Structure formats: structure tokens, C-alpha cells
A and B are shown apart, each in its own frame.
Chain A
């Protein structure tokens, strides 16, 4: 049944490109319906796990797709963020042709990401990571202005280097294990003769994944790509693409396939802590709203990698929950930046001042998003950071737990500075003209804020059923 997540968007892509006139005008609607169905199916399968489906397509196609709890969380996140990005595009892109291209590229990107989370073979994983990256290159350069071309070229070059690292690692995996499926690689770790080849392959693949995830010190492309992209593409990139193509692969590989030894753990912990601190310090000096959010993304991804390096199942559950939370509140903040850009024409924080009265909904929802990022109870960001810090303490890594705690203070600092500059204070006289905002943008803002708040409140009652079972995935 889960191969439908791959085949239905492919068929939808062909249908949208037929030379019939009225279908291309309904493109946004059709894609939106598909993404809503994906969200509903993922939720349904989580809440009612006893419902099974007959596998009709299994007779024709020999896809090796496996689904577990982590996959369902990822499918839910992909559906939500892609749907929000579609609504932002419907509200901000003006030309019909560009909107149509955006919907097509979004569908291919969603095919790529759905397959990344469903697949259990390292070469198929690599192919679909490349598909997701190629569509994000084209998406960033969609409006072809000067800074967008520059951002996408930098992303392209660094992604090419990551590709070469991953391919070299693939060759050594084939040498050490024979077959390239996850089960074969996992069993090869217990074979003492293969240790050198596996160590080499793991470290090369890890370098490639670090570049794709955008953790420091390989984050050079991330602020340029996020800030130069059109606003709907920024929502997609920050919420899902970088995370699924980079961080989810790390979670899956280190949770189920590679066996963690202490040197790998130390590398992950160091890289995570370095990301958190460097990005938080860099975000304090930014003038552009989107670059601030890009550095904040690097910082939060550092938290996920720090939790992964800790090595205990509780930390793994915290990392996955933080992944979900980060997708939701970072998308919320990027939607806010899209609304600000549409209403007032720029994202430069020097020009926007005192907008509290003119944009009340945006101000309130961005406040919720920022408090969730900084980890203020009872919003959802607080719980995931709490789980990560508790796991670090109970594993004995006191220095890293202290760094994680102190970085929350830095996060709060730069976000409060942003709030004060943009929403409070005197209104600038040049900002009198307020553009119109479509229903789709407002709806996505409000619904994402509601999800953040509700996830935080529900967590208190439901953490045993929904978050802690993720511990079981960590072998």
C-alpha cells in the first residue's frame, strides 16, 4: 500500500501535464488534495495501527518498502510542510506559468522525500537524495533573480562534493558487504575482517551527509540558499528538504544500520555542539530576517545531531520529536516572513519597525514560533529540548548538556531582539501601505501555530503512547 505514496504523485504529474486546458488551472487544488490525503493517511495509520490494507500492487512491482514508526512521523511531517508550502505559493507567486512549474517541481520533490523515508537500500536512498536535491536547485532558481542564482550555484557545488563523498563510500560498502541493503550492511558490522573498509566507508558517507544537512563547519551554502530563495521555496527547504535528505538519513543510519562506537559518538557530539554555538552566535548579528532564520535552523539541527551522538534510546526519541517540532515551528516562522514580505515589501529588519498594530496575526503567531524555538513551556519545543537534555545528563555528558542549556539562552536573545525590532516600537512612515494577504497564507500561519501549541499541551498527557515508543527503533 505504501508504494502508492510514490506512484500516485507520479501519475498526478503525468495527468497535470496533459494538453487539456482546465487541468493546469486546477493544478494547485489537485496537489493540495493529494498532500492532505497523505497527512490523513499517516495520522490514521498512527492512531489506528490495527487497520491493514490488501497489497494489490505487490504482484507487479518488487519495491522493498518497509514502514515503521519513524517513517510514519516523517510522512506526516512531509505532508504538513509540503501542504503549507503549496498554500504559500498560491498566495505569493503572481504568474500562472510559474505557479504551474512550482506545483510540478513540488510533486517531484515530494516523490523523492516519500521514497527516502520508505526505502531500505543504500543506493536507492542515494538516488532519491539526488532527486530531492536537483528539484531544490531548480526551485531556488525559479524566479531567476541575481541572488537566487548565486545561492543555487553555491548549493550546487557543495552538494556535488557531498555526492562524490557518498559515491566513494558506496564503493567501499559494496566491497565490505556484498549487497547494498540495510540488513546486509548491518550484519557486516559484526564481521571482524571488514572493519577497515567499513570504517572508511562510514566516515566518508558521514562527511557527505554532514554537507547535505548543513551543520557547521559545512554550512557555507545554507544561509545564502535559504535567504535568496522565493518565500514558498524557503518554507519547503527549511522545513523538509534539508532535514529529510540529510538529518533523517543520519537518524535512520545511526539508529538502525551502523553500530555506534565511541569515536563516532564523539564526532557527532562535537559537530552538534559546534553547530549549536556557532550558528547561535552568528544569528545575533544578522540584519535580514531570512538569514536569521537560516542560522537558527543550523542551530536546531545541531541539537538533533547532539542527541544522536548521545547514543541512548531516550536521546533518539528526543531527536525525532525535535525533528518534528523544528519542521513545524521553522515553517511557521518562514510563513511569517513570507507574509511580511508580501505586505511590506522587504525582509530587511532595518526597514521594518513597529509593525505590531498593522500585522497583529503575524506578530502573535511569530511570537508563538519563537517561544517554541527557544524552548519555553508549555510549547512543544520545550518538551523535546527537555528530553534531549535529560538524556545527555543521564548518559554522563555533562559538558554537552550545559552547552545545550546555555544555547537556549542565546536563542531567546536573538529572537527577542528580532521581536523588539520588528513588532514593537514606533511605526516607520514608509510602511503605511499594507498589501493584501490571501486566505491560504493566513490559514497556514494560524494552523501551524495551533499545531505547535497543541502538540506541546498534548505531550504532557500522551508522551507514553506517541513519543517514547520511538525508542524501540534504536537497535
Chain B
């Protein structure tokens, strides 16, 4: 596996960490802890495991890829600059109006998750079972 791929994965883990700090500042400590432990830790481990099954490519192929990428996607920076210009001239931005909501009876997160949203919990259990079945079906070594 190339160094560039490892850099991308570490970048993803760093993004998750920064996101966890932002979420903690936005009064959501439980979600921040979940995001930090699962996304920064577990995802990196899973990615590195998956990537270790594949092989590295050689250096001249890297150079060819870089040139091809520049040639193939020349239109992307142009679209981005055009969108930025249009937005700054207020041509695309419509009139914002947000509703005024009455303040909710602020229940605790644990209360909401465990008492009011049972269906989501069943959904998470079923999703994990589906994930386990997916791992069993897809990650088996082919018999020679």
C-alpha cells in the first residue's frame, strides 16, 4: 500500500477528531465521544486491514496517473470558480427565512434514545446483524 493512501486515511481520522471537538462545543458530548471512538479508531483499523490485502503500485504508474487526472478533470476548478462568483453576487442565494420553534421540553439524550425511539434501536441491531452477515459472505478467502 502506498504512503499516499495511508496519508488519506490518517487525514480522515484527523477530520473525525476535529469534528468530535466541534460537536463537544455544540453541547453534544455523547455524539462527540461516539464519533471519536468509533470513527477515529475503528474506521482507521478497518481501512488499514482492507488496504493490506491489496498491493502497491509502482512509481512510474503514479506519475502517469497524476497527469491523466489533470487532463481528465480540467473542468472542475472552472465550475467551482464560476459557482463562487455567482454566489458572491447574490444571484443564486434566495431569501432566507427560518421558522421560530417553541422550545422543546428538553429531555436527556439517554431518555430520548432508550425510551422514545425503540424502533431505531431495533434498526441498529438489525443493521449490525446485516453487517456481520456481509463480513461472513464477502471476506472469505476463495478456495483454491
Contacts and interface: CB of A to CB of B under 8 A. Distances in A.
Nearest to B95: A196
Interface stretch (B24-32, B43-51, B126-134): B126-134
B130 A134 contact: yes
Contacts of A115: 119, 122-123
A195 B129 contact: no
B127 A10 contact: no
Contacts of A112: 126
A196 B133 contact: no
A62 B129 contact: no
A101 B98 contact: no
Interface in B94-109: 94-102, 104
B138 interface: yes
B3 interface: no
Interface string A108-140: 100110010001010110011011001101100
Given A64-B119, A127-B123, A134-B127, A194 B99 contact: yes
Contacts of B104: 178
A141 interface: yes
Interface in A123-170: 123-124, 127-128, 130-131, 134-135, 137-138, 141-142, 144
Given A62-B116, A108-B126, A195 B97 contact: yes
Contacts of B117: 124
B122 A101 contact: no
A232 B124 CA distance: 27
Interface in B78-100: 94-100
Nearest to A194: B99
A197 interface: yes
A193 B102 CA distance: 13
Contacts of A63: 118-119, 122
Contacts of A111: 126
A461 interface: no
Contact of A134 (B116, B124, B134): B134
Given A134-B127, A175-B98, A188-B99, A10 B138 contact: no
Contacts of A195: 97
Given A134-B127, A141-B138, A193-B99, A124 B133 contact: no
B70 interface: no
A117 B136 CA distance: 29
A22 interface: no
Given A62-B118, A101-B137, A115-B119, A131 B126 contact: yes
Which label, helix, strand, loop or mixed, suits the secondary structure of the B interface? helix
Max count, chain A CB within 10 A of own CB: residue among B100, B119, B131: B119
A197 B120 CA distance: 25
Interface residue tally of chain A, by bracket? 35 or more
Given A131-B123, A134-B127, A142 B137 contact: yes
Interface string A211-252: 000000000000000000000000000000000000000000
A191 B99 CA distance: 8
B52 interface: no
B119 A101 contact: no
A121 B119 contact: yes
A451 interface: no
B59 interface: no
A411 interface: no
A13 interface: yes
A5 B129 CA distance: 17
B123 to A, nearest CB: 4
B129 A13 contact: yes
A176 interface: yes
A36 interface: no
Nearest to A7: B122
A13 B127 CA distance: 13
A196 B93 CA distance: 12
A193 B98 CA distance: 6
Given A108-B129, A134-B134, A142-B137, A127 B120 contact: yes
Given A127-B123, A197-B99, 20 more contacts: A6-B122, A10-B122, A10-B126, A13-B129, A63-B118, A63-B119, A63-B122, A101-B136, A101-B137, A105-B130, A115-B119, A127-B119, A127-B127, A128-B123, A131-B126, A138-B138, A144-B142, A178-B104, A188-B99, A193-B99
27 contacts: A61-B118, A62-B116, A62-B118, A63-B119, A101-B133, A108-B130, A108-B133, A115-B122, A124-B119, A124-B120, A131-B127, A131-B130, A134-B127, A134-B130, A134-B131, A138-B138, A141-B137, A178-B101, A178-B102, A188-B99, A191-B99, A193-B98, A194-B99, A196-B94, A196-B97, A196-B98, A197-B99
What are the 5 A-B residue pairs with the smallest beta carbon separation, nearest first?
Answer: A194-B99, A127-B123, A193-B99, A138-B134, A124-B119
Interface of A: 6, 10, 13, 61-64, 101, 104-105, 108, 111-112, 115, 119, 121, 123-124, 127-128, 130-131, 134-135, 137-138, 141-142, 144, 175-176, 178, 188, 191, 193-197
